[in-house]
């Protein structure tokens, strides 16, 4: 089980604008649904993070000191770097989705508060997701 502390002020202007547009075009948003969706994304992100740590903690592959062994080791090193970069990109993608879902719910609740005079639990722009 994990916990993620989110602050909408840490998002890029473009990401905030995308979330605002999603909130603006949303007609109904179940309470806590953004957090629920974010929790799924954060669990996926954590799985990838775990794999990234395994890759960085393991030692380089060594196949001997023959020319063919050095070539193979270099080939696998390149493959490993490409795989690592791809995993980082996927992890960041999941993180971006989690932030988007949380921000969309926050901004939707903000609009509801203004329109109906309700109390917005995300008024300060922060939220904590337990997953």
The string of pLDDT tens digits covering residues 14-64 is 999 999 999 988 888 888 999 999 999 999 999 999 999 887 766 555 556
- Give me the mean pLDDT over the 100-118 stretch: 82
pLDDT tens per residue across span 72-93? 878 888 888 898 999 999 999 9
Q: How far apart are CA 84 and CA 27, in angstroms?
A: 40
Non-local (6+) Cβ contacts of 11 within 8 A are: 19, 99, 103
Q: Could you tell me the sign of the dihedral formed by the alpha carbons of 38, 39, 40, 45, in that order?
A: positive
pLDDT for res 116: 66
pLDDT for res 121: 63
pLDDT for res 38: 97
pLDDT for res 119: 59
pLDDT for res 122: 66
Query: What is the CA angle 107-115-30, rounded to 5?
Result: 50
Q: Could you tell me the sign of the dihedral formed by the alpha carbons of 78, 64, 56, 40, in that order?
A: positive
């Amino acid at each position: 089980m994990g916990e993620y502390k989110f602050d909408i002020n840490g998002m890029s202007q473009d990401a905030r604008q995308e979330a605002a547009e999603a909130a603006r075009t949303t007609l109904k948003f179940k309470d806590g649904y953004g957090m629920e969706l974010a929790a799924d994304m954060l669990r996926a992100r954590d799985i990838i993070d775990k794999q990234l740590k395994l890759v960085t903690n393991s030692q380089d592959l060594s196949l001997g000191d023959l020319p063919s062994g050095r070539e193979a080791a270099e080939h696998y090193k390149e493959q490993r770097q490409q795989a690592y970069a791809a995993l980082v990109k996927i992890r960041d993608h999941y993180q971006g989705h989690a932030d988007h879902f949380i921000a969309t719910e926050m901004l939707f609740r903000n609009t509801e508060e203004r329109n109906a005079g309700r109390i917005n639990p995300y008024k300060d722009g922060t939220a904590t997701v337990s997953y």
